[in-house]
């Protein structure tokens, strides 16, 4: 039995609206009641820190970590952005090596910014590529660094049959003998999801849905950014959500990312279907897609998580920075979201959309994924509410210490599980920049 006690925190955020002081006790990777026998325990000093659950990035495209700030990809409509990104992928040659190196960099960045679980919606599958090898490379990067990964076998104009066969092979290779899509230790999850109705036909949704049903996987897609709405209108004369509903993709096991352009009537239909949502303002705002009406989605009863989306649009995988942005821009589309609620999006909301109620909270029985945020520095001086200050004050804040499943992976702001300089060097070497 291994016991860890996190001691002396200014505040411990257990879940939305549940903030306390006192110790956090961990036994064998699980949060337990703080009254546990602490003799022989590893003690982690949290003096001056707010302790939260590890953040859950519900929507990322880790491959794009290798393609940040590319010339010709900023300030342009998505119709031009997509081919610009596609030609960069083609030039670099997406294979298991690049997938693994980009994932290592993106996951290291995640851990160093307090994100302990990343949903990687992988959308780039060149014809004839070793798709199982690519998925294995991303999974190996996560295992090596000690991050939780949700590998989403996406599709973007892939042949529907090939995409489904690949998804089937990936789930068998990554999670042999597992039903429900999550490994026994909870460190790896597999899901499926086409990029959206703008890129994939009904057949792809149907066939990937069959793989999901067979293996009990979650389904994820993107909906109602500008180009999605435009193309749905041009190609089908419909709204994206009409199509998703007809295709059986508005359901409790589905999470929709973006949702910038939704009507009140559509929000009602989304809520009735049990679907969940992922807000990604760090992508939607710079791309000019708009701001998802999170207040109205939450009020209607949807679980809403937070994601960064990929480096091709966001350029960063810093979820707390995007939580701050979510809070700031929320006032443009309704009443402002309080910090405590936005923190809940980035933790419980994201976890719930992944079907992972053990993640994103610090209650007895929760997975011991947590961050220590030092709030004692000058950038926090004068802050009245240390939990609200986590988001409002000190933009770009990084955690001092990060624990995943009871294991220390970041301490003193440094990655303990790999050499950060090597991760950077290897990715640059591979993409020759
Ligand atoms: Zn996205």
Residue 424, domain member (yes or no)? no
- Residue 217: HSE in the Cβ half-sphere, 13 Å Cα cutoff: 28
Output phi, psi for 51, to 5 deg: -105, 125
The residue count of the chain comes to 433
CB 260 within 8 A of CB 226: yes
Domain identity same for 31 and 147: no
Ligand 1: distance of its center to the CA of 6 in Å?
35
How do beta strands 188-194 and 148-155 pair? parallel
Ligand 1: distance of its center to the CA of 310 in Å?
6
**pLDDT computed for residue 300 by the predictor:** 97
Domain identity same for 289 and 327: yes
**pLDDT computed for residue 187 by the predictor:** 98
Q: What is the mean pLDDT of residues 323-343?
A: 96
Q: What is the mean pLDDT of residues 145-172?
A: 98
Q: What is the mean pLDDT of residues 223-238?
A: 94
Ligand 1: distance of its center to the CA of 334 in Å?
23
- Tell me: pLDDT of 253 over 80: yes
Residue 256, domain member (yes or no)? yes
Ligand 1: distance of its center to the CA of 59 in Å?
6
Domain identity same for 167 and 307: yes
Nearest alpha carbon to residue 305 among 82, 121, 174:
121
Residue 421, domain member (yes or no)? no
What's the pTM?
0.98
Ligand 1: distance of its center to the CA of 19 in Å?
32
Q: What is the mean pLDDT of residues 221-250?
A: 96
As to burial, measured by CB atoms within 10 angstroms (0-12 exposed, 13-18 middle, 19+ buried), residue 316 is middle
Ligand 1: distance of its center to the CA of 49 in Å?
32
**pLDDT computed for residue 79 by the predictor:** 87
Domain identity same for 147 and 242: yes
Domain identity same for 13 and 130: no
Domain identity same for 172 and 107: yes
How much is the mean pLDDT over the chain? 96
Ligand 1: distance of its center to the CA of 122 in Å?
10
- Tell me: pLDDT of 87 over 90: yes
Q: What is the mean pLDDT of residues 46-51?
A: 98
**pLDDT computed for residue 408 by the predictor:** 98
pLDDT band at 6 (very low <50, low <70, confident <90, very high): very high
Residue 426, domain member (yes or no)? no
Domain that holds residue 366: 3-53+362-415
Residue 311, domain member (yes or no)? yes
- Tell me: pLDDT of 48 over 90: yes
Residue 369, domain member (yes or no)? yes
* Measured distance CA(321)–CA(279) in Å, rounded: 13
Domain identity same for 9 and 95: no
The residue among 226 and 69 whose pLDDT is bigger is 69
- Tell me: pLDDT of 34 over 90: no
- Token pair 């066969």 in the structure block, residue: 165
pLDDT band at 75 (very low <50, low <70, confident <90, very high): confident
Residue 258, domain member (yes or no)? yes
Domain identity same for 46 and 67: no
Residue 432, domain member (yes or no)? no
**pLDDT computed for residue 429 by the predictor:** 97
Domains of the chain: total: 2
**pLDDT computed for residue 247 by the predictor:** 98
- Tell me: pLDDT of 382 over 80: yes
Cβ of 405: how many Cβ atoms within 10 Å? Answer: 20
Q: Where residue 92 sits, what CATH number does that domain have?
A: 3.20.20.140
**pLDDT computed for residue 220 by the predictor:** 98
CB 27 within 8 A of CB 36: yes
Q: What is the mean pLDDT of residues 103-111?
A: 98
Domain identity same for 87 and 174: yes
Q: Where residue 374 sits, what CATH number does that domain have?
A: 2.30.40.10
**pLDDT computed for residue 105 by the predictor:** 98
Tokens standing for residue 239: 């709204």
Q: Dump pLDDT digits (tens) for 174-199.
A: 999 999 999 999 999 999 999 999 99
**pLDDT computed for residue 17 by the predictor:** 87
**pLDDT computed for residue 74 by the predictor:** 87
CB 82 within 8 A of CB 44: no
Ligand 1: distance of its center to the CA of 223 in Å?
9
Domain end: 353, 372, 402, which one?
353
Q: What is the mean pLDDT of residues 78-92?
A: 92
Domain identity same for 31 and 127: no
Q: Dump pLDDT digits (tens) for 280-322.
A: 999 999 999 899 999 999 999 999 999 999 999 999 999 999 9
**pLDDT computed for residue 192 by the predictor:** 98
**pLDDT computed for residue 35 by the predictor:** 80
Ligand 1: distance of its center to the CA of 174 in Å?
23
- Tell me: pLDDT of 106 over 90: yes
How do beta strands 407-411 and 401-404 pair? antiparallel
Domain identity same for 277 and 406: no
Domain end: 323, 353, 383, which one?
353
Domain identity same for 145 and 238: yes
* Measured distance CA(148)–CA(273) in Å, rounded: 28
Q: What is the mean pLDDT of residues 30-39?
A: 87
What is the percent of the chain where pLDDT is above 90? 94
**pLDDT computed for residue 12 by the predictor:** 98
Q: What is the mean pLDDT of residues 265-273?
A: 98
- Tell me: pLDDT of 433 over 80: no
Ligand 1: distance of its center to the CA of 23 in Å?
37
Ligand 1: distance of its center to the CA of 151 in Å?
14
As to burial, measured by CB atoms within 10 angstroms (0-12 exposed, 13-18 middle, 19+ buried), residue 419 is exposed
Ligand 1: distance of its center to the CA of 411 in Å?
30
């Amino acid at each position: 039995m291994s016991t860890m006690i996190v001691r002396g925190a200014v505040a411990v955020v257990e879940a939305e609206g549940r903030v306390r002081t006192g110790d956090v006790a961990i036994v064998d990777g699980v949060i337990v009641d703080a009254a546990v026998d602490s003799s022989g325990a590893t003690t982690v000093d949290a003096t001056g820190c707010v302790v939260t659950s590890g953040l859950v990035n519900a929507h990322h495209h880790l491959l794009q970590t290798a393609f940040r700030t590319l010339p010709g990809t900023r300030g342009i409509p998505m119709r031009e952005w997509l081919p610009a990104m596609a030609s960069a992928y083609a030039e670099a040659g997406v294979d298991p090596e690049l997938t693994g190196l980009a994932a290592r960099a993106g996951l290291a960045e995640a851990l160093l910014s307090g994100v302990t679980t990343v949903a990687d919606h992988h959308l780039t599958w060149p014809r004839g590529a070793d798709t199982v090898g690519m998925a294995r490379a991303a999974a190996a990067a996560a295992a090596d660094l000690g991050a939780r990964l949700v590998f989403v076998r996406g599709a973007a104009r892939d042949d529907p049959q090939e995409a489904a066969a690949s998804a089937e092979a990936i789930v068998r290779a990554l999670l042999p003998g597992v039903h429900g899509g999550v490994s026994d230790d909870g460190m790896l999850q597999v899901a499926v999801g086409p990029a959206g109705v703008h890129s994939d036909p009904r057949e792809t949704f149907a066939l990937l849905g069959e793989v999901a049903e067979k293996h009990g996987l979650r389904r994820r897609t993107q909906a109602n950014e500008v180009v999605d709405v435009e193309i749905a209108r041009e190609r089908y004369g419909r709204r994206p959500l009409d199509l998703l509903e007809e295709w059986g993709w508005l359901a409790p096991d589905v999470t929709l990312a973006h949702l910038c352009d939704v009507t009140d009537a559509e929000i009602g239909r989304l809520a009735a279907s049990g679907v969940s949502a992922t807000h990604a303002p760090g992508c939607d705002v710079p791309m000019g897609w708009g701001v998802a009406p999170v207040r109205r989605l939450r009020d209607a009863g949807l679980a809403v998580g937070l994601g960064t989306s990929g480096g091709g649009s966001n350029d960063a995988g810093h979820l707390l920075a995007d939580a701050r942005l979510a809070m700031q821009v929320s006032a443009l589309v309704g009443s402002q979201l309080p910090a405590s609620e936005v923190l809940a999006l980035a933790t419980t909301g994201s976890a719930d959309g992944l079907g992972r109620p053990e993640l994103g909270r610090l209650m007895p029985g929760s997975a011991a994924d947590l961050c220590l945020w030092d709030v004692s520095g000058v950038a926090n001086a004068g802050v009245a509410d240390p939990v609200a200050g986590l988001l409002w004050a000190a933009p770009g804040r990084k955690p001092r210490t990060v624990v995943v499943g009871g294991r220390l992976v970041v301490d003193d702001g440094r990655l303990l599980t790999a050499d950060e300089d090597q991760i950077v060097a290897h990715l640059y070497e591979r993409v020759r920049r």
